[in-house]
Amino acid sequence: MKTVAETWPIVKGDYTVGNPRSRIAVVTLASQINSSPEAALWGSSKTENLGVEKIIVNIISNSNIRYILVCGMESRGHLAGHSLLAIHANGVDEKGRILGSKGAIPFIENISKAAIKRFQQQVVLLDRIGLTDPDEIIKIVKRYKDQGEVYPDEPFVATSQKKRRSTFAVPLSGDIIISEEFVMDAAAGVVCQAKDF
């Protein structure tokens, strides 16, 4: 069985890639802590929405990862770590709000409920928010890097965030004047001839 998606990690971010076969990934929240190659992924996360999404996308696309160490200092107001724990424990409501999160804007836009469910099933979160001691973090990585089995399903590739939805609209007004000959419909984003309006 393939355990790592071909293009893993799927989304770019403030992280470094270590051993893709490792069972553990490390999220250092708002702290910058030197990484260890023994973790599959190691990076920061400061937001309760896009940051949480990126972690989920990159974790579920690698079935080897079974643990996430959530450590480092929490980002004030955003509560990215608390929101990651909340989505893992409770999921989201029908509007995409992370249930139980006290972060400022804890909403998910780009990933499906199936992706969230996979995240909940695939990994165990190790809640060590506030921990910044590199030695202690490395100790935890060493303890978990070979622990347990690979998740029994193939990598889950969640929707790409680079959506390019066409919302082409027919221009209905010339609300921006460019010249005597041309106008633009701001909402449609279309430049057209003034004589049409």
CB atoms within 10 A of CB 145: 18
Q: Which stretch binds another protein (CB under 8 A): 61-69, 122-130, 146-154, 158-166?
A: 158-166
Does 99 interact with another protein (rule: CB under 8 A)? no
Does 172 interact with another protein (rule: CB under 8 A)? no
3-state secondary structure 141-189: HHHHCCCCCCCCCCCCCCCCCCCCCCCCCCCCCCCEECCCCEEEECCCC
Q: Which is nearer to another protein, 30 or 138 (CB)?
A: 30
Distance of CA 36 to the CA centre of its chain: 21
Q: Which is nearer to another protein, 89 or 177 (CB)?
A: 177
Task: Evaluate whether 101 touches 87 at the Cβ level (below 8 Å).
Answer: yes
Does 162 interact with another protein (rule: CB under 8 A)? yes
Total residues contacting another protein (rule CB under 8 A)?
Answer: 33
DSSP, collapsed to helix, strand or coil, labels residue 24 as strand
Does 176 interact with another protein (rule: CB under 8 A)? yes
Interface ranges with another protein (CB under 8 A)? 11-14, 49-50, 75-78, 95-96, 104-110, 161-162, 165, 167, 173-178, 184, 186-187, 189
